[in-house]
Amino acid sequence: MKDTYEIEIRKRRFNVEVEGMTHMEVNVLAKEVENRMFSIEQKYGTPDTSRLAVLTALEFAMELTQLRETFDIAKDTAEKKIIELDHALRSAVDSAASGR
- Looking at residues 12-40, what average pLDDT do you find? 96
Confidence (pLDDT) at 22: 96
Kindly report the three-state secondary structure assignment for every residue of the chain.
Answer: CEEEEEEEECCEEEEEEEECCCHHHHHHHHHHHHHHHHHHHHHHCCCCHHHHHHHHHHHHHHHHHHHHHHHHHHHHHHHHHHHHHHHHHHHHHHHHHHCC
pTM to 2 decimal places: 0.72
Condensed to tens digits (0 to 9), the pLDDT of residues 70-100 reads 999 999 999 999 999 999 999 999 998 887 5
4 pLDDT above the threshold of 80: yes
49 pLDDT above the threshold of 70: yes
